[in-house]
Amino acid sequence: MAKVMDQQPASLDVARIRQDFPILARTVGDKPLVYLDSAATSQKPRQVIGAITEFYERHNANVHRGVYTIAEEATALYEGAREKLARFVGASDPACIVFNRGTTESTNLVAHAWGRKFLREGDQIVLSMAEHHSNLIPWQFAARATGAEVRFIPVAEDGTLDLSELSSIVTERTRIVAVTGMSNVLGTLPPLAVLSEAAHSVGAVFLVDGAQLVPHARVDVEATGIDFLTISGHKMLGPTASGGLYGRRDLLEQMDPFLGGGEMIREVWLDHATFNGVPGKFEAGTMNIAEEVGLAAAIDYLEGLGMDAVREHEKQLTAYAIGRLVEAGATVYGPRDPEVRGGAVSFWYKEVHPHDLATILDQEGVAIRAGHHCAQPLMRILGVPATARASFYVYNTAEEVDALVDALGKAEDIFG
């Protein structure tokens, strides 16, 4: 494989994009920062940083409470962010978006507010074996509380989900199928329409962990039949603690509140209370207002690039990275075909432990993740305690992939 891709992906003007990300201009030691850990959290463009600053400098007030001008401005910005996020994931009703800190909080919300109410002893919760702990532990809690059973769709040798036994895993007893939209370890993109159909055919609901999917590909909850979608704003150019949950309106309405407190109520007596409608009954206390306003700016930014172009760029970069890593002697986990995977590329390089590798790479300015990636059951299936993971986003270039591969050579000199 040629050292640098013959052509940069034509779809995005990456050189221009990089100008928008102040952190990409910094050095680590005397080396330029090569940031290849966007699956953990993405970097933020000036437009997002500016939106947060402007909110605090001009509009800061609590929302849904004050009648004065800046409180109304803050409310309009916060509710405008809800409309924007709804549109971004294909939801026609903004009330279907519940704001919170992101995927972990959203999965816990569903496992608690839906799970505790609707799961019974002997019911089945179907997950895949490739789930992040945040789409596993909340279901273990729900199963323990209700007597439901957790079952798993296996992972095939090539890192895709093995759907050959799906009809015996998803049964008349299944109440929910909850799977990752894109694996943070293998990059795998499960066939969501097929899984949605399987869930709905037995009357179960379908939850997608969108932490990795929503930042990297066009998502349409209504067209795909997704009943719950979890969204982490910090992985899609937005601030930490932004994002939330998309939920089908009738499901959200049937669910009881998750957290109690101010703002989520309608009327309160000493011994009982009635609650707000959706989404308000799930937004207790003072919310992450500035963060969701920042997320709205991130969505504007991504829409300006076009999600098809974002996906195309990542497909090209992922194919290039996998080719170069394999050529350099690395074992790459997960499917090879960029059509069925995203840009989180896990690998093991020769005899070098991932933690040692990440430390050496840091000395070269290259930031990758090493560890179990909050997916210990999947690590056991892969037969490794950890992997190294490089992950890509709109600002990454083929030259950065080359910098990664060059730095691997240095690690081999030291540890090989």
Enumerate the active-site residues. 374
Q: Tell me how far apart the alpha carbons of residues 280 and 69 are, in angstroms, rounded to a whole number.
A: 22
| Cβ nearer to ligand PMP, comparing 127 with 322 | 127
Nearest to 151 by CA among 126, 168, 180, 171: 126
Compute the CA torsion angle 102, 107, 112, 115 (nearest 10 deg). Answer: 150
Compute the CA torsion angle 375, 378, 383, 386 (nearest 10 deg). Answer: -20
What does the binding site for ligand PMP look like in residue numbers (CB under 6 A)?
39, 102-104, 132, 134-135, 180, 184, 209, 211-212, 232, 374
| Cβ nearer to ligand PMP, comparing 9 with 334 | 334
* Per-residue buried b or exposed e for 47-79, using 16+ beta carbons within 10 Å of the residue's own CB: ebbebbebbeeebebebeeeeeeebebbbebbe
Q: Tell me how far apart the alpha carbons of residues 31 and 199 are, in angstroms, rounded to a whole number.
A: 50
Compute the CA torsion angle 127, 380, 378, 161 (nearest 10 deg). Answer: -70
Q: Could you tell me if 153 and 206 are in contact, meaning their C-beta atoms sit under 8 angstroms apart?
A: no
Assigned token pair, 250: 């009738």
Nearest to 114 by CA among 244, 226, 254: 254
Count helices and strands (H / E) in the chain: 16, 17
CA distances from 123 to 24, 120, 170 (A): 49, 6, 11
Compute the CA torsion angle 152, 184, 378, 358 (nearest 10 deg). Answer: -170
* Strand pairing category for 265-268 and 344-349: unpaired
| Cβ nearer to ligand PMP, comparing 124 with 188 | 188
